[in-house]
Amino acid sequence: MPDHSLLIQHRRATRLGPDPEWIDRRTEPMTALPLMGRVSAGQPLEAIEDPDWVQVPERLIQRAEFALRVRGDSMTEDQIEHGDLILIAPQAGAGNGEVVVALIDGEAATLKRLYHEGAMVRLQPAHAGLLPLRVPAQAVQLVGVVTAILREVDAA
């Protein structure tokens, strides 16, 4: 494992790619992507933008317009951990099982798997100890879908 590495998990529709990819920042072409703040992987929290910039592998920016830092542990069974950087592709809709950033009632944002259930939406955590959120579909606005997960790894 190289020093100064990033571990990347690519999203493939509703699942993670089969193998993580190691990126060495010293040799991989990097570029700046807007870091729009944090998103809760737990109870929805007030959406507060804190714009900044983050360096990501250049080849990933084709699939994302901005990044968010994960706060919380509700998505650990999907290998999304507290402190991870997630890359987001904005879109108005998503299929069942996709990992999304959703805004509830225009103010509280959360990172969950999305399931359409008639007039309701289920926002499902990937953590066996947590219950899903069920909210009226009209109360949910999709911010975007997760296209990649980046984790900084210190080499030993």
Active site members: 74, 112
Radius of gyration of the chain (CA): 15
Number of Cβ within 10 Å of residue 137's Cβ equals 11
CA distances from 73 to 21, 45, 90 (A): 22, 14, 23
Which residues face 66 on adjacent strands? 88
